[in-house]
Amino acid sequence: MAMLAFREALNQAMTEEMERDPNVFLMGEEVAQYQGAYKVSQGMLQKFGEKRVIDTPITEAGFAGLGIGAAMIGLRPIVEMMTWNFAILAFDQLFNNAAKIRYMSGGQFKVPIVVRGPSGAAHALAAQHSQSLEAMLAHVPGLIVVAPSTPADGKGLLKSAVRDDNPVMFMESEMMYGQKGEVPDGEYVLPLGVGDVKRGGKDVTIIAWSKMIHVALAAAEQLKNEGIEAEVVDPRTIHPLDETVILDSVKKTNRCVIVEEAWPFASVGKEIASRIYSQAFDYLDAPIGHVNGADVPMPYAHNLEKLMLPSVPRVIDAVKEVLYR
């Protein structure tokens, strides 16, 4: 298997899908001449030309609407948002048009659009550029929400997203673009809505996604030194959620900690906990633990940013709380 950076795996996925299907095209701010704000589209303008790799003005609502219209007439647009924070300007298009047109038209229109870009905190980007918004997107019926954690998952899920006939919101951690991992050679597609056990264990289930998977795995490695075997579960797709992989793990370990970068109120983690309580309550030996970002806007100062975000020590403390309380 090739060792690829996360950005390279996403580039490979888009390139392969554009080679496979002439209806697929890429549009967004700086995706063409500049080759992507995070260099995810490097080399694609030269390969496919300016009619299929399109630089847009700084108008998120405008080019999101253009992409939705293109999808309605049979094209398969990939719309890159320079950051999901900027996509807030396009939520009217995504919530009221992309998510609802197939339903409101009685299936006469499909909306096969992928909206993708960086999500969550990076380093010192402060309150308006460091938000994890997956709960807002997952709240809306009709939107598929994906949050991959590895280069292989990024490639396999993005290829499936492009082929899906529904709008897919593809959320990439800004901190993972340079992260490397093995990616299977050849055609590699992962189904949407299917989670993955990233590490087996018997004592406690840690559920996380996107870059928080790596915090969870690091915590699990340290816990192993204390004789605690943590199982790490990655939903991969936030909506629809793979309940089976989550419930099977919790039924095995009888304890659970959920780790997410987002704010705690009305979060994805709270929804996962609700489903565990309603469907596997009798298997739990302790209340579910939660490790979230703090319920404050993101500070600019790096030391405060670190305090705001979930960390390995916080995850370890939460695991011990559910094990020994």
Integer CA distances (angstroms), 325 to 56, 75, 255, 262, in order: 54, 55, 11, 26
Q: Is 243 a catalytic residue?
A: no
Contact call for residues 149 and 171 (beta carbons, < 8 A): no
**Residue-by-residue DSSP string for 148-217:** --SHHHHHHHHHHHHH-SS-EEEEEETT-TT-EEEE-SS-----TT--EEEE--SSEEEE--TTHHHHHH
- Crossing angle (nearest 10°) for helices 212-224 and 312-324: 60
Contact call for residues 31 and 80 (beta carbons, < 8 A): yes
Contact call for residues 59 and 65 (beta carbons, < 8 A): no
Contacts of 36-43 with CB under 8 Å at 24 or more apart are: 36/7, 36/80, 37/82, 38/7, 38/118, 38/174, 38/177, 39/7, 39/177, 40/7, 40/10, 40/11, 40/14, 40/80, 40/177, 41/11, 41/14, 41/80, 42/7, 42/11, 43/11
Within 10 angstroms of residue 303's Cβ, the number of other Cβ atoms is: 7
- Extract the tokens encoding 160: 């499936």
**Candidates 60, 80, 172, 231; catalytic one:** 60
**Candidates 129, 139, 243, 271; catalytic one:** 129
The amino acid present at 106, given as its one-letter code, is G
Q: Is 60 a catalytic residue?
A: yes
Residue numbers annotated as active site? 60, 129
